[in-house]
Structures are given as C-alpha cells and as structure tokens.
Structure 1
Amino acid sequence: MSSYKINNTLNTVYNKDARSILDTIPSDIKIATTITSPPYFDMKDYNSDDQVGYGQTYDDYLNDLKLIFSGVYEITEEDGSLWIIIDTFKREGQVVTLPFDLSSKLKEIGWLLQDVIIWKKDKTVPWSMGGFMQRKFEYILFFTKSAKYKSNKDNVRVYDTAHLKKWWVKYPERYNPKGKALDEVWEFPIPVQGSWGDKYIRHFCPLPTDMVATMIQLSTNENDIVLDPFAGSGTVLSQSAYMKRNYIGFETNKDYIEMFTAYLQKTIDENSAEYELASTGVQDDFENTILNLRALKYARVLVASIQKKLAIKDIKVIVVRGEKSTLRNKLIKVTYRFITLTPSDAILAAAESLINKQPLSKFGIEPSFDFVQIEEIDLTGKNGYTITNTYSFNKQLDLLNPSIKVISEIKVDLNEKDYL
C-alpha cells in the first residue's frame, strides 16, 4: 500500500450537502482549483434527500448553485480557479441554456469567466435526446478568482508526435518546443461502463480521467488542494491523489463514497506510479528534438542565404549546440563554424545581415560564428545533412560531397511520412 494517507480535513470525502462548504472546511484551508460537474437540474435522481437539482424549480436550482459556488469562491486562493462541466437540455420544446444561465449567476459572485471549452465526447447520455441532431459535446466553463491566475499551460501542451501534423518535421520553427498549445475543443471519450475492470466505479456520468488530469495540470502544482463539491464516483478526487495533490470532496450518496474509498485503495499505487512515469522525460525529449531540428535547419537556411547573397557555392557549416539562451525570445545558443575558402569578413558580414531578419529571426536561436580549417575537422561522431534536408542525416558523410552542407554531432533521422 502507498504511503498516501488521509487526515481529518484534507483527502476526505464529506458525506454532506455542498451547501455546507463554509461550515465544514476550516477557514485556513485554501483551494487551488475546483473541478466539478453539478447535477444537470432535474435530469437525474441521485437518491439523496434535499438534493440540488432534482425536485427543485429551475430558479431554486440556480440559486443553490450560486450559494455553493459563492462558498467555493471564499475559500479559493487569489490565483485559484473553477472548472464546471455542464450542458444544455430541452424543456417544452426548446433548449434551456444552463451553462450560460449559471455563468451569469457566478459573475454576480465575482468569478471571472476566462474560457468556454467544448468537450467533444463522441458518446451521449440519455437526456440529450429530443432533437434532430445527435448530441456529442458538453461545455466546460473555466472561471478564475482574479485576472492573475495559476496557469501551467506548458505542462499540458500536445507533445506526442503521433498527434501532430507531419509539418513539424520540416518546419520545427513553427512549433513550440514544449508542444502544441491546447485549443478550445477537447476530445475525450466518455469512459465505457465496466471498461476499467473490477476496479471501475459505476456512476451515471463518469468523467474521463485524462480530461480531469489536464485540468489539474493546468491549474495546480503538487501538494495543492483540489475540491469537488459534487464528487459522485470520485474521478476528480482519485486523479488528484494520483498526481500528488490533496483533495476535498462532498457527496450526499454514501454508496458512492464507499465505492470511491475502495477504488482508491486498489489503484493508488499503480496510478501514482503511472503519473511519475508520465512526468519524466517524454516532454523533455520532444523539446530536445525540436531544438535540434531548429539548430540544424537554421544552418541550412543560413548557408543557402549566404551563398545566394555572395554568389558562391563552397560554404559548409559545422553546428555546435550550446546552452540555454538568457536573451528574450531566444531559446538556445548555437555556434556555427564555417568551412570555406571565401574570406571570413564577407561571410560574417553576410551572416550578421541575415540573422535579425525573417526567417532566421523566428528560430529562437542566439547564434555565434567562427571558422575552421578543413584539415582541422574530425568527423568522428558527426553527421552530415544536405542543403534541402536537415531532418534526416546522410548515411555517407564525405566533406568532398558538394551536397553535404551541414555537419553536426546532432543526429536526427525523421521521415515526415511516419506522422499524420
């Protein structure tokens, strides 16, 4: 069993109504983010007395949600946030705009609506019937307590190359080394009932764990506190535990709390280990690859531009990648050592005239230049690239080969056809 422990306040699911938040959570506890999906009005009976939504009028339901999220607002850190997964529904032959009605209520409290995200879920739930189009999305409303809020956006960039267009191979300067930024349409399928085996928690509307993990990564750091006032099966809480966050939940159905407790005990070790593994190295590998591709392509563009400017053809360059740059808008230092018979002052002047203009100014590289004599070059461990391809090294490195223009210890061998 993991060393993960539950104390009296943190890492607890209260068998209480969320309207009692301020009476339950001590005043010295501050929430980093709240992630929740409240009952969608009267669509589902969650089998508890005096529940929010079921059995209420629409106005009373909205007012109770306002009360709950007012309490959440009070205990949230100044740079904290709130995620609400919610949807529209139909009544009396027309759409009820619940997400937008609730948003108006929360603005009255002081919550600032920062983003409206479309959750494309592919599957649907029973209450989305009644229209002539199949319902395949819900809304995610993202609020913050203040204009300056915690946002770890680099932690959730798309850096899995299987999900990037093939153009990243040829055009690395167009891709952030941390990965592609999230957009406002998130594709996460609803978990299939029973798909997680005997450890799975049966619940009417389970949330995708990857989607919850994305919200947690964006809005919190390790050891922060995550709240879910409508905990249900506990997806938000369990995912918080796996990711080294503390959690607090409220749930009026005792059966769900018992299922969650058993589920967390069965899964905490395995899923915490998966989180540790996913947190190490993969994004760093992508960043390193993009920077390598940028350093090499920069050399190729530089050589081609100088040759054109000076009307010469004999330039080659050795690329030596250096440390991280401290300059604004620059990412790495790279030394470019020219191999040429052309006088050095002409080469340097041409290079200096090009580096602050597009396209080279867009690569995020802080360059430095020098020269090397051909007899001084040791080709051991080095790779050659052509004037048209710096993403796949030439298998035969020969300095006398006129097509080889870029030489480096950096080794990349990518085929854009291997990607989307």
Structure 2
Amino acid sequence: VTFADPPFNLKKKYGTYMDEKETDDYLSWCRQWIMEMVRITKPSGSIFVHNIPKWLTFYTSFLNEAADFRHWIAWDAPTAPMGKTLQPSHYGILFYAKNQQENKFYEIRYPHKRCRKCGYLLKDYGGKKKILHPFGPLVSDVWSDIHRIRHNKHRDPHPCQLPIHLLERLILMSTDEGDIILDPFMGTGTTAVAAARLGRKVIGIDLDPQYVEITQRKLEQESANSKIGDIWVSFHRGEIITIADKDWEPLKSHFVIPEDMRRIDFEKIKTGSAVIATTPQTLQLHLEIEEEACDCY
C-alpha cells in the first residue's frame, strides 16, 4: 500500500518547508509523486491520497491515467466558516487500486452508535434490530466516527497531523500482517505508528530532520500489540473502533452478545453504570452513562 498526505499548498510552514507554490507548479509536482506512487505499488496493492477536495479533483485526473478508482472517502473534519462558500466539513481520501482484479480489500466494521446519556443504540442504525450485526455496521465511504485532533496536548508540532486510528482503518481494509506501507510525506509518523501497532512494515520519507527524529522516538515505544487474541483490531481511547469483517467469527468469543439481538439495549447493563454489551470480556471497555432523562429511544 502507498499512502500520501502531502502539503495542501495553503501557505503553512511544515518545519523547514514552506507550503507555498504557484498552482501550476504545485499540480505538476503532485503529478510526479502520484505517478511514482502508482509505479511502485504492487499489482494487488492500493493507493490512498489524502487532501482537501479542491486538490483531489485534480488528483483524480492524474490517477485515472494509471490506476482504477475505487472510492472517494470523506471523513469528518469541520472547519471555521470562510465566507461566501459552504463551510468545509470534510477531508477526502482517494482510494485507487493498482489493478482492480487483483486488489486486496477487506470489508470493515465500526461499533454501533450509542446515546452518550443512556447508552441505548441510536435510531439511525437502520433495518430491523433483530438482524443487527452484534459488533456494528459495515463502514461506508463517509466516516463520521473519526475526527480531527483538536487539542494541542494530543498534537505534535505539525500543521496537519492525522489521527492514528484513521490510518489503522485504511491498513486493516487493505493489507495483511507483514505487508509493506509506503508514506512519502511521513510527517511526525502517524502512518508508521499505525503500521507498527498492526504488525505491518513501513517505509517513511520526510524532508524535515525534526519530524524524522519525532517518528523514530515514537517507534521506539511501539510494538505490534493492537490485538484481541490473535486478531488485529484498531483501538481509540480504550475502545475498539475498527475490525475486519472477515475476523468476526474468531473475535466474537471475546464479546458479550445477547442471544436475542432485540435485547441489545437491555442486556448491555451490568453492575453500576457501565455499558459493556458487545464489548470484549477480557478488556474493561465501557461507556459511563449519566442519570439523566433521555428521549433517544
């Protein structure tokens, strides 16, 4: 897999690099590294490119020459109103296959959405409750459950740091243990950390020595441990946020699952106020609920 999160040409300073090119120069440069990404990706591999929609519309024209379009993934990233335009509220990730017929791809799932107050499933799960998947729905091309890193205490000194669990989702969707991921704009190592936690290999490139040093320090503290049993999963703040659908059968023995899925709202309550239904028995993952009136059900 190759993944790129290049500078957005928005006049931001990336360490030693000033992100300020003329539009034609920027697009010419982008075309060069995009074509090189496609060239080095294996026939079964995927190409992911992250940017704002403005530039992705140009990137598609480059990628369409040499790869097969699969998806435009939108993930939640609200920004401040800019005036005389719709408020930007997402970043995009272009998902291309080097070869559609050989492309390695796994369907993935995320947890059911629950009310923060009462813990019940929100009504937007769709379909009939008795046939709900115990863990959660298949992921679509709109990812509203992953958000920007908003607080400085969680950020590195980098203008466009991505959440680790965003990269973990892409990795679980497109790779196997031991596969190689290339990131030509490594920054402070988000892709490298995600790959290390999930037992993948990574090649990272960055111009800035400070960013390389930060990445190396992070990797010294990481290990391939993002697992339940022998199955790779993605965690965020102690909760499982992504699993591969193919892994559900070996995973489900670790979960508390109501015999009748229509009781998923009622059988989730254990002692105190912890919501733990469909949560691994071996992990203390829970959602604290408040004693507060709620009209979500």
- TM-score, structure 1 normalization: 0.51
Aligned to 2:110: 158
Judge conservation of contact 1:169–1:391 (CA < 8 Å) in 2. Answer: no
Q: Percent identity?
A: 25
77, 87, 109: which is aligned to 1:134?
Answer: 87
Judge conservation of contact 1:36–1:236 (CA < 8 Å) in 2. Answer: no
**Offset at residue 133 of structure 1 (A):** 4.2
Q: 1:257 to 1:176 in 2, by over 3 A?
A: same
Aligned to 2:39: 74
Partners of 2:30 and 2:191 lie apart in 1 by 19
Judge conservation of contact 1:62–1:105 (CA < 8 Å) in 2. Answer: no
Partners of 2:255 and 2:15 lie apart in 1 by 52
Structure 1: 5+ residue stretches without partners? 1-32, 89-96, 298-388, 394-416
| Secondary structure class of the residue paired with 2:31 | helix
Aligned to 1:216: 171
Partners of 1:216 and 1:179 lie apart in 2 by 19
Judge conservation of contact 2:185–2:205 (CA < 8 Å) in 1. Answer: yes
Corresponding pairs, count: 247
**Offset at residue 248 of structure 1 (A):** 0.5
More helix by share: 1
In structure 1, give the amino acid aligned to 2:166: M
2:156 matches 1:191: no
Judge conservation of contact 1:179–1:286 (CA < 8 Å) in 2. Answer: no
Partners of 2:104 and 2:83 lie apart in 1 by 40
Partners of 1:77 and 1:277 lie apart in 2 by 29
Q: 1:286 to 1:37 in 2, by over 3 A?
A: farther
Pick 1 or 2: higher relative contact order, CA cutoff 8 A, min separation 6: 2
Judge conservation of contact 2:75–2:91 (CA < 8 Å) in 1. Answer: yes
Partners of 1:105 and 1:84 lie apart in 2 by 12
Partners of 1:203 and 1:86 lie apart in 2 by 15
Alignment of 1:7-406 (within 5 A): 33-48=1-16, 54-88=19-53, 97-108=54-65, 110-122=66-78, 124=79, 129-148=82-101, 149-153=103-107, 156-160=108-112, 162=114, 164-165=121-122, 171-173=129-131, 175-176=132-133, 179-187=136-144, 188-196=146-154, 201-266=156-221, 268-269=222-223, 272-273=224-225, 275-277=226-228, 279=231, 284-285=251-252, 292-293=259-260
Q: 1:170 to 1:114 in 2, by over 3 A?
A: closer
Q: 1:190 to 1:288 in 2, by over 3 A?
A: closer
**Offset at residue 41 of structure 1 (A):** 2.3
Partners of 2:202 and 2:184 lie apart in 1 by 11
Tell me which structure has the larger Cα radius of gyration: 1
In structure 2, give the amino acid aligned to 1:85: H
> RMSD of the TM alignment (CA)?
3.6
Judge conservation of contact 1:161–1:419 (CA < 8 Å) in 2. Answer: no
**Offset at residue 178 of structure 1 (A):** 6.1
Aligned to 1:20: none
In structure 2, give the amino acid aligned to 1:171: K
Partners of 1:195 and 1:277 lie apart in 2 by 28
Q: 1:83 to 1:286 in 2, by over 3 A?
A: farther
Structure 2: 5+ residue stretches without partners? 116-120, 234-239, 241-247, 268-293
In the TM superposition, what whole-angstrom CA distance separates every residue of 1:33-62 from its partner, at most 9, and x where no partner exists?
Answer: 12221111243233546x7xx343322222
Aligned to 2:236: none
